[in-house]
Structure 1
Amino acid sequence: MIADAQPASPLAIPDFRRFWLARFIAVFATLSMVVLIGYQAYDIARTDYGYSKSEGAFLLGLLGLAQFIPLLLLTPVAGWAADRFDRRRVAAAANLADCTIAAALAYATFADALGLPLLFALAAAHGAARVFLGPSMSAIAPNIVPQALLPRAIALSSIAWQGASVLGPAVGGFLFAEAEWLPHALSAALLIGSALLVSSIRPVRAPQEAEPRHPVRQMIEGAQYTWRQRFLLGCITLDLFAVLLGGATAMLPVFARDILMVGSEGLGIMRGAPALGAAVVAGWMAWRPLANNVGPKMLWAVVGFGAATIAFGLSTSFAVSVAMLVLLGAADMVSVFIRSSLVQLNTPDRMRGRVSSISGLAISASNELGEMQSGLAAAALGAVGAVVFGGVGAIVVTAIWAVIFPELRRAKTFAPEFLSEAPRGDLKEREA
């Protein structure tokens, strides 16, 4: 599977370069689309429906919930599909499904036929498509790079994600100001390109089950494996609850339109600012990956994430707000890198899709349910109060997790020193 002469960098591997570019343009397209869905929903609610700022903020929370429900329901199926079928084909099909959604958004916007019911339906459809993309793409990387290069590959993959997260919303915001349908049309074209790139990666043999099991049983095994690894479980749930409470991005349309008054262009810049900070950190980690004291570093990074969230909520300056969002993204990247490395390095290949889907569900729960939580809090406390409350909550959760998951405080490296007993099939695979 891997040449005898090991390359010095994942970028020296042609398949990884295709994978990297496919990931970059897919994230560019989908985040541009998602951010503008939120802005369009909030704007329509305020102008066409006469909603107040707090009612519009609550609507954004409901929009996040609409995206999360398909993710919740389909996550076990998506993880199983990534382990059962050709992962390239699963990822390509998810991109093409998202392409259809982007094209529908472009047409409805161009024809002035966009309303809240259609926006909610398309947001839910996007959630259903995205749930199949994450596990399949995450499980491809370990099959195309040597294990020794996997931490660098994860960091480089994060650069693709975060770099696209900077450019996608920013470019989308500026194009939206020129012609509201244009960024959605661009997203549709880019998603076709991503599907073609993924399909061009050389075929990877699907992992084989030692003993064929019913699909439902295989889905359950993925959850059991994750539950038994306390270090892995602690990392995933810390990110879940901290980001769920500290999700300032859900309120960005409110800050852009009614607090900082910077419009869709400012929204694009603010939405991309966390990704800019994350991309810088990911670039550093691609050069010098974290190796020591990974647990304590992750805990302190989440504390920094909460502090930056509080500062953003209290800021009335656009420049300061953008700076705090950059710091927020940089701190979050540390947690993302550690968690992703643990998932990939401590999971057998035949279960990578299922475990990645659970990790992806936690990420999506923290994002989409975080939007719901922020919307509810904003309805009671206002947008500023909701963001500050969330930042404080993220710090409190970190302190609690440091106590109930002492493995996080004691973890020095990515070595599986805290792994509990794995399912019998996995132990046999490790011994092979």
Structure 2
Amino acid sequence: MSDKNEGWAVFRNGDFRLFGAARFLSGLSYQMQAVAIGWFVYDLTRSPLALGLVGLAGFLPAMLSALVSGHVADAYERRLVGSAAFGLQAAASFGLLAYAVSGYGAVWPIYALVVVVGTARAFANPALQALLPTLVPGPLFGPAIAWNSSLWQTASVMGPALGGLLYALGPMVVFALAGASFACASLCVALIRHRPAPVGERPKITWEALSAGLRYIRSQPVVLGAISLDLVAVLLGGATALLPIYAASVLHVGPLGLGALRSMPAAGAVATAVFLAYRPLRRHAGLRMLRAVAVFGLATVAFGLSTSLPLSMACLFVTGAADMISVYVRQSFVQGETPDAMRGRVAAVNTVFIGASNELGEFESGLLAAAIGAVPAVVAGGAATVAVAIAWGRLFPALRDRDRLLTRS
């Protein structure tokens, strides 16, 4: 089957279409809500540290529940776990709506509800990551990852722009729409017809069972190198948490401009994901991942120094395109080669690394910006990311020399 036919064949699978709809709706909800929460908190506090605390509140649940959430994804039906988690995120969005309607005052209820969202995502992500490889045959797995990522990233383009636009009508509008979309995502996952074969006796909750994902990753140099590279690079080079400061104080573009800025990385990722769906990477996967991370860092430096909205948007577009290549390679390693019985636990550890690179990276960015200023913090982070890409090529030669995405179908 040609690359082009593989790209379209994925969408003939009804379960994948439901899965993709859930990913799109949940991504739209999450991104709309992230813009609203960021602007809401900054409007209340005018504090970079307060923005960083939003990222910390979103990350801590994933870190603290990683071993349990992975065990749940392997011990229970992944479809139902994902559906319940999206339902909990819908409840948290409606909680934010109630808080906004109340007239608000203190900022801590927002952090509490972000913790609820983070907890739900901690259980949704491993279950859904482990579910995807069971929905399509092996030859279509690469295109399925690309399409899945493109749907999420398309939502990430539309969500921030829509969130910034609707925020002009009030945060209540954003939170209400986010809650409704999360509820629809929950229904889509529940309607997936795929039922896994019975696995016999449910694994007991022991330290050996809970930590199996950690041991597996440690034993696989390519997987360990890919996951840790993403962790360190985005932890240092991510600038998302500081976009409200750039929109308000550097570029002077307001909440609508903030939505546009937040959309650009996703726009670059969508363009790259669609290309990869039709032209999957066949060779030099590890080296291309390292180069993509270096490009991500260089584009971050350029964004940090920019005072022009078009140039800033272009730099963020490049960061999204480069990050998509890294995500595509990493997810192929993590989801494609892990035994099905362990996919949930490995995916949970992967989720912690992703969360650390994103939410914890936002906290790091807020702290550094509070200490030295937003612009120096972004520039320093981008430069550090380039250094990390070079270092990982030496520290993980198995990753650097890895040629093909999958060693088995």
Normalising by structure 1, we get a TM-score of 0.91
- What corresponds to 2:345 in structure 1? 354
Residue 187 (structure 1) shift: 0.5
- What corresponds to 1:41 in structure 2? 41
Q: Counterparts of 1:160 and 1:212 in 2: how far apart (Å)? A: 33
Decide whether aligned partners of structure 1 residues 211 and 177 sit closer, same or farther in structure 2, where only a CA change above 3 A counts: closer
Q: Counterparts of 1:39 and 1:206 in 2: how far apart (Å)? A: 46
Residue 42 (structure 1) shift: 1.0
Q: Counterparts of 1:113 and 1:250 in 2: how far apart (Å)? A: 22
Across the aligned residues of Structure 1 and Structure 2, the Cα RMSD in angstroms comes to: 1.7
Answer whether contact 2:264 2:317 (CA < 8 A) is retained. yes
Answer whether contact 1:83 1:206 (CA < 8 A) is retained. no
Structure 1: tracts of 5 or more residues without a match: 1-5, 47-55, 418-429
Opposite residue 35 of structure 2, the aligned amino acid is V
Residue 207 (structure 1) shift: 6.2
Query: Between Structure 1 and Structure 2, how many residues are aligned?
Result: 404
Answer whether contact 1:67 1:127 (CA < 8 A) is retained. yes
The correspondence for 2:383, drawn from 383, 392, 402, is: 392
- What corresponds to 2:3 in structure 1? none
What SS does structure 2 have at the residue aligned with 1:181? helix
Residue 209 (structure 1) shift: 6.5
The correspondence for 1:116, drawn from 107, 118, 132, is: 107
Matched, 1:22 2:22: yes
- What corresponds to 1:181 in structure 2? 172
Structure 1 range deviating more: 172-181 or 16-25: 172-181
Q: Counterparts of 2:105 and 2:90 in 1: how far apart (Å)? A: 18
The correspondence for 2:69, drawn from 70, 74, 78, is: 78
- What corresponds to 1:159 in structure 2? 150
- What corresponds to 1:285 in structure 2? 276
- What corresponds to 1:334 in structure 2? 325
Opposite residue 251 of structure 1, the aligned amino acid is L
Q: Counterparts of 1:80 and 1:88 in 2: how far apart (Å)? A: 14
After TM superposition, list the pairs within 5 Å mapping 1:92-103 onto structure 2.
92-103=83-94
What SS does structure 1 have at the residue aligned with 2:171? coil
- What corresponds to 1:53 in structure 2? none
Structure 2: tracts of 5 or more residues without a match: 1-5
Residue 178 (structure 1) shift: 1.8
Answer whether contact 1:145 1:153 (CA < 8 A) is retained. yes
Residue 211 (structure 1) shift: 9.1
Residue 357 (structure 1) shift: 1.0
Answer whether contact 1:298 1:334 (CA < 8 A) is retained. yes
Answer whether contact 1:92 1:199 (CA < 8 A) is retained. yes
- What corresponds to 1:295 in structure 2? 286
Decide whether aligned partners of structure 1 residues 44 and 391 sit closer, same or farther in structure 2, where only a CA change above 3 A counts: same
Answer whether contact 2:89 2:179 (CA < 8 A) is retained. yes
Opposite residue 161 of structure 1, the aligned amino acid is W
The correspondence for 1:107, drawn from 98, 109, 116, is: 98
Answer whether contact 1:245 1:391 (CA < 8 A) is retained. yes
After TM superposition, list the pairs within 5 Å mapping 1:88-237 onto structure 2.
88-113=79-104, 115-205=106-196, 208=199, 212-237=203-228
Q: Counterparts of 1:309 and 1:348 in 2: how far apart (Å)? A: 36
- What corresponds to 1:9 in structure 2? 9
- What corresponds to 1:263 in structure 2? 254
Q: Counterparts of 1:203 and 1:138 in 2: how far apart (Å)? A: 15
1:207-266: CA deviations, max 9, x gaps?
Answer: 626894444321111110111000000000000000000011110011111111111111
1:31-65: CA deviations, max 9, x gaps?
Answer: 2112221211111002xxxxxxxxx1122112211
Residue 274 (structure 1) shift: 0.1
1:398-421: CA deviations, max 9, x gaps?
Answer: 11111110112211112449xxxx
After TM superposition, list the pairs within 5 Å mapping 1:58-77 onto structure 2.
58-77=49-68
Opposite residue 40 of structure 2, the aligned amino acid is Q
